[in-house]
């Protein structure tokens, strides 16, 4: 292929933006078009673009989780609260905007089946809980909620409060709440 600069025939190899060029292909076809140097972004421009892109993504994620962060009985409420905090802190992280994005972790840590949870109590403690629930409305309410749940999240404030209530009421021994919730 032969290239001829129609704007300035003296510039054979070093074309400039706006030069009008004639391309003669090996098959004889002639094509004429303007030459424009490819634009190469500076490192600063790339960083600015990446920063804006990451902040837009972060804002989008915050918007997506706005409503869920207000539903306190949502199974992943605390995961969303934690995720939103990570999102707000993301732009101040050391490797921003090129680091690892925060990830919404919806796996409930320290989640147990009801059987696993109740197995943390001794037989005597379970019997005492059942007996006292017949006369203690707070304990009865906590047990009713327990029956409704599919799994026990040991980090859930209601679980923690319920087990601490058992210890404070003398139903389980001193220090047992920490053992059960560990």
CA angle at 122 for the pair 119 and 123, rounded to the nearest 5°: 95
With 70 as the cut, is the pLDDT of residue 12 above it?
A: yes
Q: What is the pLDDT of residues 36-88, one digit of tens each?
A: 988 889 999 999 999 999 999 999 999 998 888 888 777 778 788 888 999 99
**Residue 108 confidence (pLDDT):** 60
Longest alpha-carbon distance in the chain: 103
Q: pLDDT of 125-177, one tens digit each? A: 999 999 988 998 988 998 888 888 877 888 888 888 899 999 998 999 999 99
Beta strand pairing status for 30-34 and 2-5? unpaired
pLDDT at 109 over 70: no
**pLDDT-derived band of residue 92, with 50, 70 and 90 as boundaries?**
very high
- Cα dist. 51→54, 60, 91, 102 in Å? 5, 14, 8, 15
pLDDT at 151 (0 to 100)? 79
* Helices (H), ranges, 66-121: 77-89, 114-118
Sequence ranges of the domains in the chain: 2-34, 43-92, 111-181
């Amino acid at each position: 292929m032969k290239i001829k600069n129609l704007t300035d025939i003296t510039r054979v190899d070093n074309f400039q933006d706006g030069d009008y060029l004639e391309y003669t292909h090996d098959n004889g076809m002639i094509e004429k078009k303007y030459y424009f140097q490819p634009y190469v972004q500076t490192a600063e421009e790339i960083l600015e673009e990446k920063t804006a892109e990451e902040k837009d993504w972060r804002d989008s994620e915050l918007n997506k989780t706005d409503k869920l962060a207000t539903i306190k009985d949502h199974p992943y409420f605390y995961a969303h609260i934690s995720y939103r905090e990570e999102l707000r802190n993301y732009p101040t992280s050391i490797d921003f905007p090129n680091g690892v994005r925060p990830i919404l972790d919806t796996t409930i840590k320290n989640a147990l089946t009801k059987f696993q949870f109740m197995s943390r109590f001794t037989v005597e403690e379970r019997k005492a809980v059942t007996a006292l629930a017949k006369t203690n409305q707070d304990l009865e309410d906590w047990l009713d909620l327990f029956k409704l749940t599919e799994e026990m999240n040991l980090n859930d404030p209601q679980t923690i409060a319920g087990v601490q209530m058992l210890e404070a009421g003398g139903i389980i021994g001193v220090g047992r709440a920490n053992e059960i919730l560990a």
